[in-house]
Structure formats: structure tokens, C-alpha cells
Amino acid sequence: MRKIPVALPNLGEEEAEATRRVILSGWVTQGPEVAAFESEFAAYVGASHACAVSNCTTALHLALLALGVGEGDEVITVSHSFIATANAITYCRAKPVFVDIEATGFNIDPALVEAAVTPRTRAILCVHQLGMPCDLAAIVAIGRRHAIPVIEDAACAIGSEIEWEGAWQKVGRPHGDIACFSFHPRKVITTGDGGMLTTNNPQYDQKFRLWRQHGMSVPDAVRHASSQVVFEAYNEVGFNYRMTDLQAAVGRAQLGRLPGIVEARRRLAGLYGDLIGGVEGVAAPVEANWARSNWQSYCVTLAPDLDQRSVMQSMLDVGIATRRGIMNAHLETPYANAGANLPRSEAAQAHSIILPLYDRMPEADVQAVVNALEVAVEAARPILHRAAV
């Protein structure tokens, strides 16, 4: 049986050649490839600074530290996200304050953010979930009103765009204070593992660079280039959150593919939208008129009377992989005592399904997925409601 995977990274000869170039150069971490990837990435999103790190979770950790988030502080965020969003807050010994998502879509509801602000709120950590931009204009306005900085978890959102002051801009400019990206293979471009922080604040960028490399006052690349003997100092506790040059070289090749990848994903998502419009009991995701998703994932919502697991199983039985929608951190052990009341987040986890989508997916497979979905939904429908009755 032919299988349709839920995702497939686009890696090829360019990436293989790039790693070969790095290996033969003899400089394999935190060197010229990392520097070039950073400046190319910054230019792509339109940020003044981009700092490469080991993954998006470490990027989120450094972003929160740069804002001074620490013990006893509160950070307003969503539970309805990959658990790394909440974990990064926990690493700072701060408390994630979970607010619910919007009535349509999977992003933070800005109307609930303001009510969650307390004197201990130190940051707002919003997520562009599945690549769909969240309502940054509303969130940044709330942040400004209360003098609270905004971090964007843009793990999934490279290539997504938002209309800002009348023009389309890339997510990660950033529109908040700091944006964090992931290059895990499940995202739109990959370096195996990897992450990037973007900001327009040079002080934050300096801190990221210091902390990602053990708090070392003079980076090894600078010492290597110096004709004078240089002794470095370690004035603060740092981390090893480095990206290697092997990863960065792959990232540069991936960045070259990105416009084509995003274009293909948008075309396939458009096709899904047209076809799913005709499937009863399944709602397609929608873009706000100020948002352009990169469609990192295509997540549909099932009618409440349809069993998520049986729909997914029926599709797997015919060789089509799906995943349940985004998880909720507050339903997992470490955050079970957060006292969260998040009905929309819980409904989204229980009733949404991620369908296969990747840039080289044939259009015929999109049609095959929707056909299988239609059959699976009909089989999962409670007996009295079946169309045949």
C-alpha cells in the first residue's frame, strides 16, 4: 500500500554539498557559516539582528532571560502549543499564565490577554501556531499599554506574513521585541535541529551571543582572528546553545528553497480549502485578511460528534498519516496544577486533525486525502446521523 506521510522535509544535493564544504573547511561550529546564515536570515525577515542557536526551545529560554524573566514572574501565553513554549518559562523559574485561544483558529485570543495582566507580568509570549500569524497588532498594543515586552514563538512561522501599517511583512521582523524560530524537520525548513532569535534591540542580541556560548567574553572566532594573545573571561553563567557550521550551511541552502516551499504550500493549502468546503462535518482553517500563513501544518476541525481517533485510524488504514491537532500543556503532568480553564483549547485538542502537507506533495494526493477523510468521517458519524438514514 502506498503511504502518504504527514510531512516530508525538502533536502537534496545542495544541502549535502553544503555539509561537505564545511567538513573539508576544518571549521565546524560557530564559524563563518553560522555568521552567514544569521545575516541571510536577518535580511529575509527584515530584522536588524539574527542569532543562531541549537533549537527554538533554547531560543525561547534566552529570549525570556534577556527580558529579565525570573523567579516569581508571570508570563502570559497559551497552553495550546507544543510544550516547549511553557517549558521555556519554567526554565526561568517563572509561571506560565495560560489564556484560551480564539473561537475560530488555534491562536491566542488577544481579548483575554489584558485581563490576565497582573503587577507580576513580565512578558507576553504569543505563538504563531502552525505557521498562522496570531493577532500581533492587538497583542503588541496591549503590551505597549502596560509596558510589557512581547516575545513571538515563531517556531513554525518562517515565511509567514502579516499586514502591518498597510504593507505585508515577514513574521520575525520582529513586530514584538524578540522572535524565536525552529529548524526541526517538522518545520518548513530544517537544519536537523536548530533555532534563531531575531530582534531589533542590539543589547538583547549581545546577550544572546554571550549566553549561547558559555558566557565567554571573547568568542573563539574573534580570538582565532586576533594577532594579539587574548584571554577571555566568564562573567556570567552561560549555556552551550551553539549552532554548528554544518547545521548553518544546511540552513543557508534551505533558505534558498524557502520561497518556493512556501509558494507550493500555499497552493496546496488553497486546494485543500476548496475540496474540504464540500465535506460535511469538517471545517477548514481560515486566514484573517491581515495574515498569510506558510501552512507549516494544515489542521482541520471535526464536528464535535465525530470521534477524532477513529477518523485518524480509518485514514491510517488506507495509508494516510495524520496527527491530532496541537496539544495543551495544562493537560500534561507538569502543568496540571496551573488552574487553567481553557474550554476552547481543550475542544481544539479533542477535535482537530493535522492532514498531510509538504511542498512536493502531488495535488492528486491532496485529493486522495480529502476523499479518504470524507469516507472516514462518514464511518465515524453516529449511526442515527448517517447520511443514508
User: Residue 105 Cβ, how far from ligand PLP at the closest point, in Å?
Assistant: 14
Q: Judged by CB, which is closer to ligand PLP: 38, or 365?
A: 38
User: Residue 130 Cβ, how far from ligand PLP at the closest point, in Å?
Assistant: 8
Which listed residue (3, 95, 170, 187) is catalytic?
Answer: 187
The number of angstroms, rounded, from the C-alpha of 204 to the middle of its chain's C-alpha atoms is: 21
User: Residue 152 Cβ, how far from ligand PLP at the closest point, in Å?
Assistant: 10
> Catalytic site residue 3?
no
Q: Judged by CB, which is closer to ligand PLP: 331, or 368?
A: 331
Q: Judged by CB, which is closer to ligand PLP: 67, or 125?
A: 125
Q: Judged by CB, which is closer to ligand PLP: 151, or 249?
A: 151
> Hey, CA dihedral for 113, 119, 120, 123, is it positive or negative?
positive
User: Residue 56 Cβ, how far from ligand PLP at the closest point, in Å?
Assistant: 3
User: Residue 293 Cβ, how far from ligand PLP at the closest point, in Å?
Assistant: 14
Q: Judged by CB, which is closer to ligand PLP: 81, or 328?
A: 81
User: Residue 307 Cβ, how far from ligand PLP at the closest point, in Å?
Assistant: 26
Give the span between the Cα atoms of 49 and 199, in whole angstroms.
Answer: 5
User: Residue 186 Cβ, how far from ligand PLP at the closest point, in Å?
Assistant: 7
Residues 126 and 60: beta-carbon distance below 8 Å: no
SS3 string of the chain? Answer: CCCECCCCCCCCHHHHHHHHHHHHHCCCECCHHHHHHHHHHHHHHCCCEEEEECCHHHHHHHHHHHCCCCCCCEEEEECECCCHHHHHHHHCCCEEEEECECCCCCCECHHHHHHHCCCCEEEEEEECHHHCCCCHHHHHHHHHHHCCCEEEECCCCCCCEEEECCEEEECCCCCCCEEEEECCCCCCCCCCCCEEEEECCHHHHHHHHHHHECCECCCHHHHHHCCCCCCCCECCCCCECCCEHHHHHHHHHHHHHHHHHHHHHHHHHHHHHHHHCCCCCEECCCCCCCEECCCCCEEEEECCCCCHHHHHHHHHHCCECCEECCCEHHHCHHHCCCCCCCHHHHHHHHHEEEECCCCCCCHHHHHHHHHHHHHHHHHHCCHHHCCCC
Q: Judged by CB, which is closer to ligand PLP: 86, or 315?
A: 86
Give the span between the Cα atoms of 141 and 122, in whole angstroms.
Answer: 15
Distances (CA, A) of 233 to 52, 58, 215, 237, 238: 22, 23, 8, 11, 12
Q: Judged by CB, which is closer to ligand PLP: 187, or 381?
A: 187
Q: Judged by CB, which is closer to ligand PLP: 153, or 177?
A: 153
Give the amino acid at 195.
G
Binding interface with ligand PLP (CB under 6 A): 55-57, 81-82, 84-85, 127, 153, 155-156, 182, 184, 195
User: Residue 190 Cβ, how far from ligand PLP at the closest point, in Å?
Assistant: 10
Active-site annotation, residues: 187
